[in-house]
Amino acid sequence: MKQKSTCFVSTRLWMSVVAAALAAKGALAQTNATVLNGSLKEAYKNYFTVGVAINTRQQVDQDRRAEPIIKSQFAAIAPENCLKWESVQPRPGTNGYSFQSADAYVAFGEKNNMMIVGHTLVWHGQTPQWVFQGEGGRALQRTNDADRALLLERLHEHIATVVGRYKGRIKVWDVVNETLSDGGGNDTILRAQSPWVRILGYEFIEKAFIWAHEADPDAILRYNDYSLENAPKRAKLITLVKRLQEKNIPISAIGSQTHVNLTWPTFADEDAALTEMASLKLPIYITELDVKAGASGQRIRSGAVDANANLGGGGDTQALADSVQQALAKQYVNLFTAFCKHSADIKLVTFWNVTDADSWLRGQNPLLFDAQGKPKPAYEAVLKLPETLKK
């Protein structure tokens, strides 16, 4: 068992820890080193596992820039795209699968002795249209939607096949991704525009967890979503998870994507979010961490995930101005300080991609490594933070 930090100190004290960490000599110094002298996975080993999402070139060692970073810094991997429905089952039926890329992903994790995450079984994004379409008279009246039974059959077959194939090897699955709606007030809890919600209501969520559990009873099964740092969205998460728990649905973890920006969330926001999520008595996984270091307001209001992926700006992958580098370092230190404070509940912190050049937010410089794979001041600050916390 890993030794866990169990510090219950006041928010004010933690704020001063953040300030001390930022002031630490050299924490914000510009670094040009291409050789990394430290390791994030080592630095945080008493707190939680640190992981990264990788792409299909990286999983076959075709990315020389990212390879040394992945292997020296991270102890867990998530698949950026290769296990999404459109990649793994592009066509209907048992012959419609394409496992080459997913197999390579899992083999990479095993070869490098990493924790392997599966992402994602059920999502409205990156899912082929055929999944939702009626066939052979099995359609809902007056629509071309599949009827409930047909959609559930497809879901069951997909989950049993994909989870079953990697049973015991993929240890953690994002079972349901982003099914909470974004609006506040009287808005419904579930994302009404999702075909899953439109056709099946809550049923697909419950069945997805049940079938994933049947396919691999030892896998950790997460519900994964974004903007859980915002209280109204988090309230929906809590309602949804409690409902599942009351029905004994086998959900075993919360995935908080943590796509954030320079000013949001504050340390206090993140601290409050983690405290409230922990009240569900499920472990928390930070699943898709990145910090948009450009204009504020990343995908917090829109549910149009695919459109949001294009918000990155004009492909500006140049180095950030020093003041922005410092703001990025400060925000990462805020976040990791909160993660460490809550390390009794947090199992894994996963960055969403390796370098700024790989990111879905290309142009927003969101990661710890720049487009050339060089560590940014934010990397140095995050790496050094645990030393400061020990003091």
- Could you give the residue numbers annotated as active site? 178, 288
* Amino acid letter, residue 233: K
Q: Lay out the site mask for ligand GLA across 224-243 (x = CB under 6 A, - = otherwise).
A: --x-----------------
Name the residue with tokens 């995930």: 305
Q: In whole angstroms, how close is the CB of 200 to ligand GLA at the nearest point?
A: 20
CA distance 287 to 222: 10
Q: Which residue among 127, 177, 256, 364 contacts ligand GLA (CB under 6 A)?
A: 177
Structure tokens at 153: 């059959």
Scanning residues 255 to 284, which ones bind ligand GLA (CB under 6 A)? 257
Q: Lay out the site mask for ligand GLA across 104-133 (x = CB under 6 A, - = otherwise).
A: ---------------x--------------
Could you say whether residue 305 binds ligand GLA (CB under 6 A)?
yes
Instruction: Please name which of 354, 352, 351, 344 lies closest in space to residue 48, comparing C-alpha atoms.
Output: 344
How far is residue 112 from each of residues 6, 71, 73, 224, 257, measured CA to CA in Å? Answer: 30, 7, 12, 26, 24
How many chain residues bind ligand GLA (CB under 6 A)?
8
Could you say whether residue 288 binds ligand GLA (CB under 6 A)?
yes
Backbone angles phi, psi at 351, to 5 degrees: -80, 145
Could you say whether residue 290 binds ligand GLA (CB under 6 A)?
no
Could you say whether residue 145 binds ligand GLA (CB under 6 A)?
no
Contact between 259 and 300 (Cβ < 8 Å): no
Could you say whether residue 355 binds ligand GLA (CB under 6 A)?
no
Q: In whole angstroms, how close is the CB of 306 to ligand GLA at the nearest point?
A: 7
**Residue 303 vs 386, nearer CB to ligand GLA:** 303
Could you say whether residue 298 binds ligand GLA (CB under 6 A)?
no
**Residue 33 vs 309, nearer CB to ligand GLA:** 309
List, as one string, the DSSP characters of 112-142.
TT-EEEEEEEE-SSS--GGGGB-BTTBB-TT
**Beta bridge partner(s), residue 205:** none
Could you say whether residue 309 binds ligand GLA (CB under 6 A)?
yes
List, as one string, the DSSP characters of 208-229.
HHHHHHHH-TTSEEEEEES-TT
- Residues near ligand GLA (CB under 6 A) are 119, 177, 226, 257, 288, 305, 309, 360
